[in-house]
Structure 1
Amino acid sequence: MPAVTASGVRATWESLPAAVRAGIDDVLGSPVVAAHNQSGGFSPGLAARVRCADGGRAFVKAVGTPLNPESPDLHRREIDVAAALPPGVPAPRFRGSYDDGDWVALVFDEVDGRMPHEPWRPDELRLVVDAVTGLSRSLTPCPVPSPRRARDEMREPMLGYRSLAGDPPDDLDPWERRHLDRLAELAASSLDVVDGDTLVHYDLRADNVLLSSSGVWFVDWPWAFRGAAWLDSVLLLLNAAYHGHDPEPYLDGHPLLDGVDPWHVTAVLAGFAGFFGAFGRRPPPPGLPTVRAFQLAQHATTLAWVRRRTGWE
């Protein structure tokens, strides 16, 4: 199956309400005179590299309820995380925010970098796998005060197979249909093993990574929570599998999985297969027309990995 690009229909700097642009200028301390609108990701909001009248540069993201009613709250969640990330974490420095109740904007230092190639190149994938290991170690113990817990945040996704089992779609994969109850039980069991004391990014894909001359940077933190140190490494490899890479060699000998029961990893993978399969069949959210196709494409590659790991006939 051809890969579905992680992209949506983004707002542009020019399309933002004048009051929002003025509020961002205030955060920057100088008016924006040029903006390079960015693509990629699923948010309907703005993502732009901007240049100010004083010569300063920054990265700005903004979204409002007219684009998607839930997206502003995700930006507010990211503000809480970004403001608490300690120095030294490879994430762009947070400079400030704007919030008028409908529109929310975040301003960061600009990173002179690029996203990894899609599909992943082996050398870049190895570089980022190692960087994620370092990231998780640096975020243990969790540095963000009272963040959400993995068990709570992952409950709905990890119960996706229960939803499918309650009303099985006609187009389920035959192997998946045959083992639907077992998959639902396995996926639900993941909720017993995902807690921990690491700040987990929880949305690691190629489009949330930047490669620069100074190293690997991780962006877009609205989903972050406190959880097991190995979760982000497994999530990154879900994306690698989606792009055709065999993820198993990257798990073999992984330092954050030392002592972790392999069946716990399989349970989390089963949970994501159920999540992608259940949510990918829903109508698309406002402003995100491609996300369901992306979820269904990820379902196919994640299910193949789960089938391989379970060994069920």
Structure 2
Amino acid sequence: MPPVTASGVRATWESLPAAVRAGVEDVLSSPIVAAVNQSGGFSPGLAARVRCADGGRAFVKAVGTPLNPESPGIHRREAVVAAALPAGVPVPRLRGCYDDGDWVALVFDEVDGRMPHDPWRPDELRLVAAAVTELSRSLTPCPVPSPRPALDALREQMLCYRTLAADPPADLDPWERRHLDRLADLAASALDVVDGDTLVHFDLRADNVLLDGSRVWFVDWPWAFRGAAWIDSVMLVKNAVFHGRDPEPYLDGHPLLAGVDPWYVTAFLAGMAGFFREYGRRPAPPGLPTLRAFQLAQHATTLAWVRRRTGWA
């Protein structure tokens, strides 16, 4: 079992400013008579299933600068992506937004689903892995106008080992320290292979997936960019590794990795390990007290996978 989970301290519907609640009700054209606050994820903002006086239902997420100065911008990015997704993609429909400059609220269709079991069960992981493959195919070519290209979105992450190599922390993993320069070069080389014309979610974890019977839904798209079609499948499996699953059976023979040199995948994973290690040592952002511990826990499991794939002694 991982030592920490994707969790934070969320706002509640009742705690939102009255103007924000009224703005959400304007989007829904009906007063909200009940709200069930949701947990999970790292945002300090609201996540709630709501019921309206006219019987309608929706899912609402909202955050303001008093909770975290960066989070409203994250919601705005998600709104741009969600509004541009084509019909038929398994993503809840964005019904509207409220934005007063300090607070941003997004209103989606409610999905009557649940998150996968924690830790991942093999049957659910297979189901979601197949759905991710189809998702990436359906989002190729990229349907969102002018998203960030992968090189811009991933440059900082893939160069984190170079930052660590310039001033190595005293508590680096011994294997990691021994191969720090090689890991820095390996991770940087991923920037040569992440380009593509697929809309990449890039944050595929169990808490960003909803299961509705045999149907899989994908939520939370603020980090999306245009890149290689295989990235989301690798990100999902990386999360499975965090939950103790053997990753390789899910990548062996993967249709989106046909013709992709396995070393490219290893380079990308090395970049993610470096990112988790470098960011995990930073101070926690306002309103996100568990984020750094979660990143360090992901560093440990991702690094172990990189060590296995490189075969370096």
- The yes-or-no answer on 1:154 pairing with 2:154 is yes
Counterparts of 2:55 and 2:271 in 1: how far apart (Å)? 48
Q: Partner amino acid for 1:159? A: L
* 1:92 partner SS: coil
The corresponding residue for 1:15 is: 15
Q: Which residue of 1 aligns with 2:80?
A: 80
Distance 1:177 1:236, change over 3 A: same
Deviations for 1:210-231, whole angstroms, at most 9, x for unmatched residues?
0002500000000001000000
**CA shift digits 1:164-205 (9 cap, x unpaired):** 111111111110000000000000110111010000000000
2:199 aligned counterpart, secondary structure: strand
Alpha-carbon offset, residue 2 of structure 1: 3.6
The secondary structure found in structure 2 opposite 1:36 is strand
Relative distance call for 1:75 and 1:237 in structure 2 (3 A) is same
Corresponding residue for residue 223 of structure 1: 223
| Matching residue of 1:172 | 172
Give the 3-state SS of the residue equivalent to 1:51 in structure 2. strand
Structure 1 residues 77-226: aligned runs within 5 Å = 77-213=77-213, 215-226=215-226
In 1, Cα distance between equivalents of 2:117 and 2:158: 29
Runs of 4+ in 1 over 2 A off after TM superposition: none
Q: Does 1:43 align with 2:43?
A: yes
Q: Does structure 1 conserve the Cα–Cα contact (< 8 Å) formed by 2:95 and 2:109? A: yes
Structure 1 gaps, min length 5: none
Deviations 1:29-66 (A, max 9, x none): 10111000000000000000000010100000000000
SS in structure 2 at match of 1:308: helix
**Does the alignment pair 1:249 with 2:252?**
no
Structure 2: gaps (5+ residues): none
Q: Give the TM-score of the pair, scaled to structure 1.
A: 0.99
Q: Distance in 1 between matches of 2:170 and 2:231?
A: 32
Q: In structure 1, what is the equivalent of residue 33 of structure 2?
A: 33
Paired residue type of 2:278 = A
SS in 1 for 2:104: strand
Correspondence for 2:263: 263
d(CA) in 1 for partners of 2:120, 2:146: 34
Three-state SS of the structure 1 residue aligned to 2:284 is coil
Find the counterpart in structure 2 of residue 57 from structure 1: 57
Distance 2:189 2:32 in 1: 50
Q: CA deviation at 1:154?
A: 0.5
Amino acid corresponding to residue 49 of structure 1 in structure 2: R
SS in 2 for 1:114: coil
Q: Is the 8 Å Cα contact of residues 3 and 243 (structure 1) preserved in structure 2?
A: no
Contact 1:3 1:242 in 2 (8 A): no
CA distance in 2, matches of 1:3, 1:303: 16
Distance 1:132 1:6, change over 3 A: same
Partner Cα separation in structure 2 for residue 232 and residue 30 of structure 1: 37
Tell me how far 1:5 sits from its aligned partner.
1.0
Q: Determine helix, strand or coil for the equivalent of 1:128.
A: helix
Percentage of pairs with the same residue: 84
Give CA deviations for 1:67-123 in whole Å, capped at 9, x if unaligned: 000000000000100000000000001100000000000000000000001110111
Aligned pairs, number: 313
- The answer to whether the 8 Å contact 2:2/2:243 transfers is no
Quick one: which amino acid aligns to residue 53 of structure 1?
Answer: A
Q: Which residue does 1:286 correspond to in 2? A: 286
In the alignment, is the contact (CA less than 8 A) between 2:2 and 2:242 conserved in 1? no
CA RMSD of aligned residues (A): 0.7
Q: Is the 8 A contact 2:120 2:240 kept in 1?
A: yes
TM-score (norm 2): 0.99
